[in-house]
A and B are shown apart, each in its own frame.
Chain A
Amino acid sequence: MSTIDETRRSAAQNTLLNRPGGLHLSQSTGRFIGKVFTYTLLTIGAAVMFFPMFWMLTASLKPEWQILTEPISIPSEWVHVQAGNTVQELPLWNTTNPAGEQEEVITIGTRRYTTVIDLNQLTEDMLISAPADALGETQPTEVGNVVLNVRTLTREDGSQIPVASLARDGGNILVAPVEALTAVASRMALAEVNAGERVTVEVGDASFKGRQVSDGPAVLALGPESELTIVGPKAIAEQAILVPAEVPVGESLVPIGNTELLHYSLQGYPADEYYVQLSSETWQPVIDLSDVNASAFAVENARLSEEVTTRTFNLAAMPVRTLTGEDGSQAEVVVLIRTAATSLVIPVEDAGSIRLSPISRLAEPFVLNIGGIPVRYRDDYVEHGEEQSVAIVGERLNMSLVAPQTAITEAFDVASNSLTRVTRLRLYYENYIEALSKDLGGATFFTFFGNSTLLVILNWLGHFFSVTVVAYAFARLRAPGKNILFIILLSTMMLPWPVMLIPQYEIFSRLKMINTLWPLFIRSFFGNAFLIFLLRQFFMGIPQELEDAARIDGANTLQVLWNVMLPLSKPALATIAIFTFWWTWNSFFEPYIYLSSPKNYTVSLGLGFFKSQYRYTFHLLMSASVVAILPIILIFFFAQRYFIEGIQLTGLKG
């Protein structure tokens, strides 16, 4: 008869049978272990579930580059040191100095080396053609003063000798004993090797594709390659000076540690002073945009002198011409931008803010129209930590940052791959400011918040109105056809939405509702199958007697619904509110199809602004996403008790 009774009985039997005799944990210990178990599971589960939010939070506080390359790390920034009195900054690296201490350094030069053999000294009797399976694993080994890729060759008689491979020989590999190679091998800079002409050298039957090094032998690069970087204390950066790229001349190699460094003398400086190059980059003359707006003007090229002189403003070389005014007066002007017919010029005395900037700070400029001349500019250009507006003028220049050789006495060499960037913790909270204040097609994120909130309220209104009425009818009233209608209601939950998308779009289009919020809330006034179902279930759980009492008092159906059912259904209404909020807030596809003007966009749609065809702006996307999900989290946190009480599925049957 009663399933529950059976359940009880069998449960009792099972547990009696299963319980090992003698092992009786006291109840409190058992409970304690249960608690520990529960909390451990909870914590592990929570860690897994919380991960997305955690990741979004950290990502929202990172600069863009760090999201791309270091997805799971602490938000941090690279540390730089200013180069002399220029606006350029040099990256700092961590390394271990010869004294064995950790030190922050700048890099001065890099050279890549390989091991070569002199092909002219290679003789036929050194060569062995060995099948690959007779050769052991490659082991880079220092032999004499070179490093060779040493393998163990097992000969047919079972004896083993160390060899290094020279070339592929069909399916075999051509090797030579390490012993024989040490005499002909040497270490050579890869740049030197590859600068040589390609040559083919025959040794017996074998032919080798090597390089003819200038003033040297024909060599074959065997590898392994290694790279050494010369680094020095960051104080060197203070002595850096910026010079045009053609100024360093007469390069010569000077040994430092196990490698060499290029030294230059500078044109126009004493010939016996040597310099090293810290970096070489493209720089761009810029001028304060305010100066352009105040003093620059467009003139016809005909009014400018043919003759042009070059004048340097803060290292930026600019063309200067003579302008003849309409009254015949003459003035010297700097030509900022020259097009086919006209030029943008500024009087020499107003050109003081012309200076150089590394192009890395000027990428993707915008264009402004001054007197018919397009002027490229950036209004977020940063110089010495300050944001300013500059116009991009004149020609790009290749510049070198150099430091006197006397400054690098403490330089040393390290393997390139042992260097790591110096970073420090930094939370990029600006991401939030930027994401929220950014102009997104004439609107900001707050507009989207407003629209989403409006939609939520309208959908709430719609659902509270329609769902309660319909659910009550299905829960309490009797009518022919009700069961069929209820099955239809349930089956509408399983309709594939793309079927209806186009016809629905046509309807809204005919109603002139495209690019309005209408299609996104009007349907809620006509009910929602899932919510109607949930509320009906809840209504069914409310005792009929309460309703009957009200009826006896003469209440009509709507009064019963309003005065009896709804006050008892607060949890279910909270559930409807949460589901409605959730769907409205996160819906992406429908707003995407129906809305086109940014002023009508919703939050989830607005997030899409940070993801374009070619590029994501992850840091902004993540900070905007965090802000976007906050309302849902808050609502769920405070309403979740009602939420769960509101779902009544007891008495559920097909």
Chain B
Amino acid sequence: MSNIRTRIPILNLNPRARREALVFYLMISPWLIGLVLFIVYPMARSLYLSFTRYQIGHEPIVTGLGNFNRLLEDGDFWRSLRVTLLYVLGSVPGQTAIAIGIALLLAQKIRGVNFWRTIYFLPSVVSAVAIAVLWFYVFNPQYGLVNTLLAAIGIKGPGWVFDENWALPSLILMSWWTVGAQVVIYLAGIKAIPQVLYEAVEIDGGGSWARFRHVTLPMLSPVIFFNLILGLINAFQVFDGPMVLTNGGPNKATLTYMLNLYKQAFDFGNLGYASTLAWVLFLIIMGLTALVLRSSALWVYYESEQR
């Protein structure tokens, strides 16, 4: 049995709480309006479009599950899903390890800390147009830096972004370079670890490894978790690198999910099918995030747990 009061929670509150709730909604109203205008409406429209055949310049025609059937038979869809998964598997763990490593180094008491931090942050701020030209030369089989260095020690380097088998690993390597934002977040996490914990380990005679293993890592696990989720989301949507550097090639070896989606929308002008792809990706990301959230209980250490 429920009456109208219990079904509409806000009416169920005492006046003070009701006022607080009103202030809450008033204060988040800019975000709520933005949400409806720039996210909910576009999402709803694209959800509708995902059930239509919608070519640019024409009216959408509802085709029911037609797009989803097409998706199952679409070689490029499966290919791009595979490429993206491989990319995620390669880039996210690497990025995490490198970012933690750099953050640990930068958290030390070092001279000229501003200088060092700025240098490590640099690769993340160079604009995409310039970065594309840069990597062209780093990975150029003939003139490139990597192969020149390899040749100096007598190894014939591969074709990197121009070789079907090496293009994706090249993109993964690239992603390891631009970890500036993650480093900053880890650094903040490390700085927030109470010094007493380290002192405790030191009193017990623990060395630097013990400090890392038994204090830094557990205390950092919520930050790792946070970065992991953001990293997963970003890696699943990887677009800039394959777009400006390889355009999906050679032979579709770097055709990532987003690139495939983008091509469907803006090369073929097939907005209906692109919307379907987008929604499928959204569901995949949501599902994976949920999985990671579930697993977090096993390895993420929360301060509040000890209370």
| Chain A interface (Cβ < 8 Å from any Cβ of B) | 1-4, 7-12, 14-16, 18-19, 34, 38-39, 41-42, 45-46, 49-53, 55-56, 69-72, 465-466, 469-470, 472-474, 477-482, 485, 488-489, 491-504, 507, 523, 525-527, 532, 557, 582, 586, 588, 603-604, 607-608, 611, 616, 618, 621-622, 625, 628-629, 632-633, 636-638, 640-641, 643-654
Determine chain B's interface SS by DSSP, over half rule.
Answer: helix
Q: Total number of A-B contacts with CB less than 8 angstroms?
A: 297
Q: Which residues of B contact A465 (CB under 8 A)?
A: 30
- Which residues of chain B from 88 to 145 have a CB within 8 Å of any chain A CB? 102, 105, 108, 110, 114-123, 125-131, 133-134, 137-138, 140, 143-145
Q: Which residues of A contact B33 (CB under 8 A)?
A: 526
B295-307 CB contact bits vs A (8 Å, 1 = yes)? Answer: 0100001111110
How long is the Cα–Cα vector from A643 to B116 in the complex, in angstroms? Answer: 15
| Chain B interface (Cβ < 8 Å from any Cβ of A) | 9-10, 12-13, 17, 20-21, 23-25, 27-28, 30-35, 37-39, 41-43, 45-46, 102, 105, 108, 110, 114-123, 125-131, 133-134, 137-138, 140, 143-145, 148, 177, 184-185, 187-189, 191-192, 197, 200-201, 204-208, 210-211, 213-215, 218, 222-223, 225-226, 230, 233, 237, 258, 261-262, 265, 271, 274-275, 278-279, 281-282, 285-286, 289, 293, 296, 301-306
Q: Are B214's CB and A10's CB within 8 A?
A: yes
Question: Can you show 22 pairs from A to B with CB atoms below 8 A apart?
Answer: A2-B306, A3-B306, A7-B215, A8-B201, A19-B205, A39-B110, A45-B105, A50-B119, A69-B143, A466-B30, A478-B20, A479-B10, A480-B9, A496-B237, A496-B258, A504-B42, A526-B34, A616-B133, A622-B133, A640-B118, A641-B114, A649-B192
Which of A1, A3, A52, A492 has the largest number of chain B CB atoms within 10 A? A52
Q: Are B222's CB and A49's CB within 8 A?
A: no
Q: Output the nearest chain A residue to B17 by Cβ-Cβ distance.
A: A478
Q: Output the nearest chain B residue to A647 by Cβ-Cβ distance.
A: B188
How long is the Cα–Cα vector from A488 to B28 in the complex, in angstroms? Answer: 13
Q: Are A586's CB and B127's CB within 8 A?
A: yes
Q: With A39-B110, A470-B30 in contact, is A71–B140 under 8 Å at CB?
A: yes
Which single member of B24, B134, B211 contacts A482 (CB below 8 Å)? B24
Which single member of B24, B30, B128 contacts A479 (CB below 8 Å)? B24
Q: Which residues of A contact B301 (CB under 8 A)?
A: 3
Q: Which residues of A contact B271 (CB under 8 A)?
A: 502
How long is the Cα–Cα vector from A477 to B45 in the complex, in angstroms? Answer: 33
Other A-B pairs beyond A472-B27, A636-B118, 8, CB < 8 Å: A14-B214, A46-B116, A477-B24, A502-B42, A503-B45, A526-B37, A618-B133, A647-B188
Q: Are B31's CB and A644's CB within 8 A?
A: no
Which of A557, A603, A611, A650 has the largest number of chain B CB atoms within 10 A? A650
Q: With A3-B218, A41-B105, A495-B282 in contact, is A628–B127 under 8 Å at CB?
A: yes
Q: Are A473's CB and B30's CB within 8 A?
A: no
Q: Are B35's CB and A488's CB within 8 A?
A: yes
How long is the Cα–Cα vector from A499 to B264 in the complex, in angstroms? Answer: 12
Q: Are A645's CB and B133's CB within 8 A?
A: no
Q: Output the nearest chain B residue to A505 by Cβ-Cβ distance.
A: B42
Q: Are B188's CB and A648's CB within 8 A?
A: yes
Shortest Cβ gap from B241 to chain A (Å):
13
Q: Output the nearest chain A residue to B189 by Cβ-Cβ distance.
A: A649
Q: With A494-B233, A503-B41, A633-B118 in contact, is A71–B305 under 8 Å at CB?
A: no
Q: Which residues of B contact A18 (CB under 8 A)?
A: 207
How long is the Cα–Cα vector from A162 to B126 in the complex, in angstroms? Answer: 60
Which of B28, B123, B207 has the largest number of chain A CB atoms within 10 A? B28
Q: Which residues of B contact A8 (CB under 8 A)?
A: 200-201, 204, 214
Which single member of A472, A502, A525 contacts B30 (CB below 8 Å)? A525
Q: Are A56's CB and B258's CB within 8 A?
A: no
Shortest Cβ gap from A329 to chain B (Å):
61
How long is the Cα–Cα vector from A631 to B298 in the complex, in angstroms? Answer: 43
How long is the Cα–Cα vector from A408 to B296 in the complex, in angstroms? Answer: 83
How long is the Cα–Cα vector from A651 to B226 in the complex, in angstroms? Answer: 12
Q: Are A625's CB and B120's CB within 8 A?
A: no
Q: Which residues of B contact A2 (CB under 8 A)?
A: 306
Q: Are B120's CB and A607's CB within 8 A?
A: no
How long is the Cα–Cα vector from A372 to B25 in the complex, in angstroms? Answer: 70
Shortest Cβ gap from A34 to chain B (Å):
7
Which 5 residue pairs across A and B have the least CB separation, nearest first? Answer: A526-B34, A12-B204, A503-B42, A647-B188, A480-B9
Q: Are B188's CB and A622's CB within 8 A?
A: no
Q: Which residues of B contact A638 (CB under 8 A)?
A: 114
